[in-house]
């Protein structure tokens, strides 16, 4: 059977050339799997299967009727049309031959026992190579049993007509009936240990190093900053571990929620050295395949390492040139108070301001050192005043680390003791390059001029099949970010902008100032 006529294809059968058949997500998973990257196995229900379903169930005319003359600016009409089409898709019977085929592939994927899988949406359009459908359709995790998989494949099909997806296609004048959807079905990794890996050091820009973070359980708390992960730096040439930072972990996040880590394991290294080196080797293999530095999510289950996701690193902060630094001579004669993870380069001195909740951010004055257990978007107004950030928890991909790098201020995260050891008003120096915190002001101003906020990793712009959008954590940096080699902003969460106002939306409503609130938000956009 020709690939183009198949209803289902294994990951081993698809690659980057098959986007029209299995969408970008399906093609990327297949590309990595075929090239020996340990991606959890799976299969793709192809876009052809979806088009056959629409044709055999006479849903085509229903879609035409609902969308004909629809004003997508009328939110009520848009929601109604979306609901009607999704209800019709979910109410139609999937062809028996496809149901049987999904059952057979699922059982072959799982073996003797049913296993949990992720059922993902991967939209595609053969004649629209520049279209980006990311985030418009649904993904379903921890699905088990062939009947549930079949049900969720149909739910993915229905999600092609979410209101946001209809709006996007209409605004971009895409033919709704020519846009298809494939559904990758992939084994879930129930990670015993997981983390994030950069194939370039995100703090120093050293492309000769791999940065790895590791924690027990699933990786969600690493991103939120609730857990401080172990940190490893690996030399690419020798695979020597040149830096190691092991943390205490008392709880982990699993399918069952938060679970305590037994005392015997709380202070143990999460991943042994040989697996750290193996992981670094995998990261370099992915980087070599794609030809540019990668930001990867990984998991470890039953003795095997898996790459769950990989995306290119397009920009990084410049080095600490133009910022303060702690010289070797100053370090020798200074008192080291604590050490954490250097998360944003440079050094700064200032008075300690310990913040235990967002209600206290007004304590932070220009030039202070903001000290907190961890940060969240509510802390951003204070972070913009601070000369440096110091936290008890979090790794180099936590909120505090990301925002500090965007703001261009030094940061040390995962110190464990900052809020307990320090006192308000105490003068300290935070060295975000080394992760060290010193007593007093030991900063030497750099004689080298400051460089621009970021530098493009690969020099010349790279042409891609889809547009590249960035996540913007700090709205006021939009003008600077616009200078980067991106096509626009893909995610700007409203709470970041609301936090800058300093007034809760309910207060605006209570005072009858809804228009003022809308004006503030519109100006921000």
Residues carrying an active site annotation: 399
- Asked if 322 contacts 448 with a C-beta cutoff of 8 angstroms, the reply is yes
- Cβ atoms of 117 and 186 closer than 8 Å: yes
* CA dist list (Å): 319 to 174, 259, 294, 365, 406: 44, 39, 19, 26, 13
Residue among 302, 311, 233 nearest 273 (CA): 233
Residue 285: name the closest of 17, 80, 107, 37 by CA.
37
CB of 456 within 8 A of CB of 485? Answer: yes
Q: How many CB atoms lie within 10 A of CB 323?
A: 22
d(CA 298, CA 300) in angstroms, rounded, equals 7
Q: For the residues of 122-147, what is the DSSP string, one character each? A: EEE-TT-TT---TTSS-EEEEE-SHH
Q: Strand locations in 436-514, DSSP E?
A: 436-439, 444-445, 454-456, 469-471, 488-491
**Nearest-5° Cα angle at 305, 300 to 310:** 100
User: Does residue 370 contact residue 364 with C-beta atoms inside 8 Å?
Assistant: yes
């Amino acid at each position: 059977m020709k690939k183009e006529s198949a209803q289902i294809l294994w990951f081993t059968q698809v690659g980057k050339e098959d986007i029209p058949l299995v969408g970008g997500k399906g093609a990327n998973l297949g590309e990595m799997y075929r090239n020996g990257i340990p991606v959890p196995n799976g299969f793709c229900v192809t876009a052809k299967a979806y088009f056959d379903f629409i044709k055999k169930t006479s849903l085509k005319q229903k879609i035409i009727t609902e969308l004909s003359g629809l004003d997508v600016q009328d939110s009520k009409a848009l929601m109604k049309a979306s609901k009607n089409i999704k209800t019709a898709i979910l109410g139609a019977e999937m062809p028996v031959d496809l149901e049987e085929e999904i059952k057979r592939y699922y059982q072959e994927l799982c073996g003797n026992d049913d296993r949990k899988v992720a059922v993902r949406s991967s939209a595609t359009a053969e004649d629209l190579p520049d279209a980006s459908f990311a985030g418009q359709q649904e993904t379903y995790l921890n699905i088990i049993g062939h009947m549930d998989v079949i049900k969720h494949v149909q739910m993915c099909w229905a999600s092609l007509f979410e209101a946001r997806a209809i709006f996007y296609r209409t605004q971009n004048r895409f033919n709704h009936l020519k846009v298809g959807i494939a559904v990758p079905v992939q084994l879930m990794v129930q990670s015993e240990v997981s983390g994030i890996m950069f194939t370039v050091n995100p703090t120093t820009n050293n492309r000769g190093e791999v940065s790895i973070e590791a924690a027990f359980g699933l990786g969600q708390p690493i991103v939120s900053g609730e857990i401080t992960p172990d940190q490893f730096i690996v030399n690419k040439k020798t695979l020597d571990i040149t830096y190691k930072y092991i943390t205490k972990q008392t709880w982990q996040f699993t399918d069952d929620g938060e679970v305590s880590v037994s005392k015997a394991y709380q202070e143990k290294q999460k991943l042994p050295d040989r697996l750290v080196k193996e992981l670094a080797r995998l990261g370099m293999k992915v980087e070599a395949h794609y030809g540019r530095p990668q930001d990867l999510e990984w998991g470890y289950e039953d003795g095997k390492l898996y790459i769950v996701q990989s995306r290119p690193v397009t920009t990084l902060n410049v080095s600490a040139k133009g910022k303060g630094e702690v010289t070797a001579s100053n370090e020798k004669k200074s008192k080291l108070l604590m050490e954490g993870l250097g998360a944003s380069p440079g050094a700064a001195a200032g008075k300690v301001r310990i913040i235990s909740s967002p209600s206290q951010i007004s304590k932070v004055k220009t030039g202070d050192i903001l000290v907190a257990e961890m940060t969240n978007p509510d802390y951003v107004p204070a972070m913009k005043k601070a000369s440096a950030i110091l936290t008890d928890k979090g790794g180099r991909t936590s909120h505090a680390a990301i925002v500090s790098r965007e703001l261009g201020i030094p940061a040390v995260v995962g110190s464990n003791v900052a809020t307990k050891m320090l006192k308000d008003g105490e003068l300290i120096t935070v060295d975000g390059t080394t992760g060290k915190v010193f007593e007093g002001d030991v900063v030497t101003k750099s004689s080298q001029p400051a460089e621009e906020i970021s530098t493009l990793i690969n020099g010349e712009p790279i042409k891609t099949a889809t547009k590249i959008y960035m996540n913007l954590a700090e709205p006021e940096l939009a003008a600077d970010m616009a200078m980067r080699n991106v096509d626009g902003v893909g995610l700007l969460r409203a709470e970041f902008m609301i936090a800058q106002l300093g007034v809760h939306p309910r207060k605006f409503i209570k005072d009858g100032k809804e228009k003022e609130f809308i004006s503030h938000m519109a100006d921000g956009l």
